Structure 1
Amino acid sequence: MIQNKIDLKIRPAATGDISEIWKILQQSVARRREDGSTQWQDGYPNEEIVRKDIAENHGYVFILNKKIAGYAAVFFDLEPEYEELKAWENPPPYAVIHRVAVSSDFLKKGIATEIFRLIENMVKEKGIKSIRVDTIFDNTGMLRIFEKFNYTYRGEVYFRGNARKAFEKKLQ
């Protein structure tokens, strides 16, 4: 396990985590709606996506005080939607982070920041030199995280017919 200063730990998600992950994602969907964001208001993500993440070894949970505080999906293969954008500076291989969500029980504790720190460390340990991410234009919280971690805006990508801001970070 990778560990950091607030004792948040990362581990691969397991099928026994699905109900808690799904609860956390539903909380995040509700928060996006309350914030006036259109992100995740179209039935995505859903429980089937979480099951697929876990089955394909992309799902990770973040543990604080023996409880699941957050979830993210991390991919180490090419993202087809990203291949249309020609502004990327770093060639494959790259990692992709999707579906970052923090439990309502752990808000305002720096969990999202630590999730990104742990994922970046994990990606580096795998010898991958860059990470690509995206979010919808009105997800101000995620945009702040990208800025905080020095992700560079590369343009727009499209998922499910919606434009999203795409970013990239070269890891040192």
Structure 2
Amino acid sequence: MEIRKAELKDKEEIYKIIQYAQAYLKEQEVPQWQNGYPSIEVITMDIVSGNNYVMVDEEKIVGSCMISFEEDKYYKVIEGQWLADKPYAVIHRVAIDPKCKGKGLATEFFNFAQLQAYKNGVNYIRVDTHEKNSSMRRCIEKNGFKQCGVVYVMDNAPRIAYEKEIENEIQ
């Protein structure tokens, strides 16, 4: 299993995994990702910007996520308080192939993001999810993120916001 930067040739496979995740969320009655987002255009922009990563197992893409070191405009205002007002990495659009769910692959993305942040001299990582997305919330919390409050994303949709300090975790 390896994690690498996504390439444009990967976008259809990534989008298929995103569509599986959208269907799963709908089945779980989670209104997240039910309005056409993330679209193939968003995935393409993530790839072109160098922020999309894929997990590959025997040449097959089994997961995808976006990791960025740019300030997230939706994180500027929070109902609550971030752990620190310092540079941070952000993780968005984590999606795992349904055949691989339950194998800890999302945790692998979180670990990878922490390593990337550490290598870039960044000690904080932020992530958000819908309050009803209990599986992602469990994963985020299991990986040591602290709930900081609520942020409002596209269409003013509320999301539970988390942050983690990684300063002394990776040596």
TM range (shorter): over 0.9
Counterpart among 2, 8, 14 of residue 15 in structure 1: 8
**Identity across the alignment (%):** 37
Could you tell me how far 1:31 is from its partner in structure 2? Answer: 0.5
Could you tell me how far 1:74 is from its partner in structure 2? Answer: 0.7
Counterpart among 116, 132, 135 of residue 138 in structure 1: 132
1:165 aligned partner: 160
Q: Distance in 2 between matches of 1:111 and 1:61?
A: 11
Could you tell me how far 1:24 is from its partner in structure 2? Answer: 0.4
**Count of equivalent residues:** 165
Could you tell me how far 1:73 is from its partner in structure 2? Answer: 0.5
Q: Distance in 2 between matches of 1:66 and 1:119?
A: 21
In angstroms, what is the RMSD of aligned CA positions? 1.1
Q: Distance in 2 between matches of 1:27 and 1:155?
A: 28
| Structure 1, unaligned runs of 5 or more | 1-7
TM-score, scaled to structure 2: 0.92
SS at match of 2:106: helix
Could you tell me how far 1:62 is from its partner in structure 2? Answer: 0.8
1:4 aligned partner: none
Q: Residue type of the partner of 1:29? A: Q
2:101 aligned partner: 107
Q: Distance in 1 between matches of 2:77 and 2:150?
A: 9
SS at match of 1:69: strand
Would you identify which runs of 4 or more consecutive aligned residues in structure 1 move more than 6 Å?
A: none
Q: Residue type of the partner of 2:36? A: G
Could you tell me how far 1:16 is from its partner in structure 2? Answer: 0.4
SS at match of 1:132: strand
1:117 aligned partner: 111
| Structure 2, unaligned runs of 5 or more | none
SS at match of 2:61: strand
Q: Distance in 2 between matches of 1:57 and 1:70?
A: 16
Q: Residue type of the partner of 1:122? A: Q
Could you tell me how far 1:37 is from its partner in structure 2? Answer: 0.8
CA contact 1:70–1:100 (8 Å) conserved in 2? yes
The answer to whether 1:40 aligns with 2:33 is: yes
The answer to whether 1:72 aligns with 2:65 is: yes
The answer to whether 1:27 aligns with 2:7 is: no
